[in-house]
Structure 1
Amino acid sequence: MAKKPTLRDVSQHAGVSIYTVSRALGGGQDVAASTRERILQVANALGYVPNRAAQELRKNTRSSVTVLTASTSNAYYLDLMKGVQRVLRPTSRTVVVADIAAEGRYTRAVEDATVQQLIQSRTAGVIATLTLSAQNVKLLDDWDIPVVFVDSAPPAEATQVPSLTTDNVAASVRLGRHLAEHRFTSWLFVAYPTLWSTREPREQGLREAAAAAGAELHVLETDNDEASAFDQVRDWFETPGRVPPDVVVAGNNPLLHGTMRYLREKGIRIPQDIALVAFDEFPWAPLLDPPLTVVNEGSEAIGVEAATILSRIIDEQVRAETEGRPPKPKYLPEDRQVASADLIIRASCGC
C-alpha cells in the first residue's frame, strides 16, 4: 500500500508551516479562515488523517461498528438496525449510528467529516445505507476499514465492495401492474432525490409499467423529509387547472408521512378519492385506516445479512493481526447480492 500522507505532506502542498497545519486541523482559532479552508482541502485531497488516529488505530480492538444512515426518520432503518443488532450482540461488538443526511438533506462536507471521524474513532467496520464518494470508500480501505452497502450501490470504482441491494425495477414493475389492474390511468410518484441510488430504478420500473398500461406517470421530486413532501404535494395538488391523480405512490416513509398529512388535512379520502401506496413496510402500515399497500424489501433480513458479512470480514482481520499479517479487508464475490421485494396488498390501493 502506498505510504500514508503525513502532516509534512499537507504542509508542503498547502504552502504553510507544519505548526499552522496542526493548528488548523486541531480547531485552533488563530488561523485565518481562508488558510484553514485551503489546508482542509489539501488534507482531504491527500487523504490525510491526523496522527493521533494512526496511533489509536494500532490499538484497535475492532469492537464497534458504525451504521451510516440517510435521515433516521425513515422506519426502514429501525428494522435494519434490528437485524444488525441481532447478529452483533452475541459478538460483544457495539453499534453506533451516524446520520449523514439529517432531516433528509445531504452535503458532501458532512460525508467527508463523518468519514474522518469514523477513522479517528477506530470503528471496526461500516454499514452504509447511502452511496459514498469513491474517494471516501478508498480512504476507509486505506485504513483497513471494511464497508458493506445496503439499499444503495457502491460507487462504480469500488468493484469488490460488498452490497445488499433490491431489484427495485422488478419491484416497481410489479407494483405498477397492480395499479393497472385497478385501471388507474394517472399515477403520481412522490420521489426523493436521485442522490439515493434506489430512486432511479424505482422510477424506471414505474415508467415501464405505466407505459405498458397506457397510464401517465407524473414524478414529483422532493427533499427526503416529511415537511418537504407536504409542501411539494400541496403545491402540486393546488396548481390551478391540475387534475388530481388516480393514485399516489410515496417513495418511502418520510414522503408517505408528508403526503398523508396533506390528504388528511384536505379531507381527501383513501382510497375512495385517491388510492395510496408506498415503498417500504413499517410496523403500523396494517393498522392505518385503511391499511396501506406497500412494497416490502425486508430490511430486517438485509440487516442480518449485512452484519453477518461484516462480522466475517472483521473476524478475518483480527486473525490476520494475531498472525502478524496485514489486516486488509477480504471481500468475496458472494458478498454482492440482489434480492427481490414483496408486494403486500392491503386496502389503500382500493382492494
Structure 2
Amino acid sequence: MSKKPTLRDVSRVTGLSMWTVSRALGDLSGVSSDTRETVRQAAAELGYVPNRVAQELRKNTRRSVAVITASTSNYYYINMMKGIQRTLRPTGRTAVVADIAAEGVYTRELEDATVQDLIQSRAAGVIATLTLSLDSVELLEKWDIPVVFVDSDPPAEAAMVPAITMDNFAASVEVGAHLAGHGYRDWLFLAYPSRWSTRADRERGIRHASERFQANLEVIESENDVESAYATLSAHLDHGSLPRAIVAANNPMVHGALRVLHERSFAVPDQVALIGYDDFDWAPLLNPALTVLDQDSEDIGVQAAQILTRIIEDQIQSERNGRPPRPAYQPADRRRVEPRLIVRRSCGC
C-alpha cells in the first residue's frame, strides 16, 4: 500500500507553507480565496483528507504550555514549576510536564516523539530545561510553537530563541574559591552527562578553580538520576580514596552522594565536605545543613512563563489581524541570572 498523503505533501506540491495550507484547509482567516482554492484542489488530487480533530485543536485558544524536563526527580524542576504555574494561572493557561529522561537517560527518539505529541496536541508554547536538537526547535517553529530555554542553552544556530541561564563558569569558580578558603586541596566533581549544556561550564569553572588554587581535582560522570549517582560514586570510592571535598553538580548528584556517605558512615564535613548546585526545601534541614550554589529556580520559572505569555499573546493578536502567528522573539528574552552561594555547615563553615 502506498503511504497516505500528508499536509507536508500538500505544502510541497503547492509551494506554500504548512501554516498557509493548514489554515486554507481549516477555513481559517489570513488566506485569500484563490490560495484556499489552490490548496483544496491540490489536496483533492493527492487524496489528502484533513484531520478534523487536528483542525479543531488548531483553533484552540492556546491554553496549554508544555514544560520539557529530563528526570523530574530533580527538585530544581519542582520549584521552577511553582513559578511557572503561579504566572500562568491568571492567564487561564496550564502547564503540563513532558519528561524526556524519566530514568535520567536521555534518548533522541523520546525527544522526537515528545515534540510530535506537542505539535499534535497544539501546545501553546514550550519551556525546555535541556538543549533540544535544532530539528526539534525548527519543527516547533514551523508550527508556530514558541520555545523558551531555562538552565540550558538553545542550539547554537538558534541565536534568537529565548533562554534564561546562569554564568555556570563563574559560579563554579566561586565554589572552588570557597573550598580553597577552607584549605581543602583534594576535590571530586560528581557530574551529570554533557547532554545538559550546563555541565560543560560547571566543569570548566571547577577545573579553572582547581588550577588557580593548586588543588587536585577528579571528575566522574554519572547518568542524571539518583541511583546512577549513587552507583558511580560508590564504585569510585571502592577503588580510590575519599576526597576532602565533593562538589555535586545538581540535586540528583547530591542525593546519590548523601546516600553513599551515610551508608559508609563518613562524617560531613569533618571527613568530607559537600557542596551542591541548586537549593531545595529540605537542604537547610539536613544534618549538617547543605551548602548550595542557588539560582532561584522558582523565579526562573516566573521569568520563563512571563516571556512565553508575551509571545503567545502577540501571536493571538497577529491571528486576529490576519497575519501569520510567527513567534516574535526579542533580544531581552536572552537573560542571565546571578547565582548565590548559600553557606551552611556541610562545607565546613
Range into which the TM-score falls when normalised by the shorter chain:
0.7 to 0.9
How many Å separate the matches in 2 of 1:264 and 1:72? 24
Partner residue of 2:167? 167
Counterpart in the other structure of 1:293: 291
Cα distance in 2 between the residues matched to 1:70 and 1:253: 13
* Cα gap change, 1:234 to 1:7, in 2 (>3 Å): farther
Deviations 1:246-266 (A, max 9, x none): 001111111111111011001
Match of 1:252 in 2: 250
Report the residue type matching 2:216 in the other structure.
E
Residues 258-296 of structure 1, C-alpha deviation per residue, up to 9 Å, x if partnerless? 111011001111011111110110011000000000000
Displacement, 1:103? 1.5
Q: Give the distance between the partners of 1:120 and 1:59, measured in 2 at CA.
A: 12
Confirm or deny: 8 A CA contact 1:228 1:258 kept in the other structure.
Answer: yes
Amino acid at match of 1:174: E
**Unaligned regions of 5+ residues in structure 1, if any?**
11-49
Distance 1:107 1:326 in 2: 33
C-alpha separation in 2, matches of 1:51 and 1:206: 53
Aligned partner (choices 281, 284, 287) of residue 283 of structure 1: 281
Partner of 1:123: 123
Q: CA RMSD in A?
A: 1.7
Runs of at least 4 residues of structure 1 off by over 3 A?
7-10, 50-54
1:200 lines up with 2:200 in the alignment: yes
Instruction: Choose which of 300, 321, 324 in structure 2 pairs with 1:323.
Output: 321
Is 1:132 aligned to 2:132, yes or no? yes
Deviation at residue 52 of structure 1 after TM alignment = 5.9
How far residue 61 of structure 1 moved from its aligned partner, in angstroms, is 1.3
CA contact (8 A) 2:58 2:122 kept: no
Deviation of 1:326 after TM superposition, in Å, equals 0.7
Counterpart of 1:95 in structure 2 is: 95
Residue in 2 that maps onto 1:180: 180
Give SS of 2:154's match: coil
Kindly state the Cα deviation for residue 104 of structure 1 after the two structures are TM-superposed.
0.6
Among 5, 8, 31, the residue aligned to 2:8: 5
Amino acid paired to 1:345: V
SS of residue in 1 equivalent to 2:254: helix
> Could you tell me which residue of structure 2 aligns to residue 345 of structure 1?
343
Partner of 1:31: none
Deviations 1:118-160 (CA, angstroms, capped at 9, x unpaired): 0000100000001000001000000000000000000011111
SS at match of 1:227: helix
How many residues end up aligned between the 2 structures? 308
CA-CA distance at 1:109 after TM superposition: 0.2
> How do 1:263-274 and structure 2 match up within 5 A?
263-274=261-272
Q: Shift of residue 321 of structure 1?
A: 0.8
Structure 2 residue aligned with 1:221: 221
Aligned-partner Cα distance in 2 for 1:307–1:212 = 39
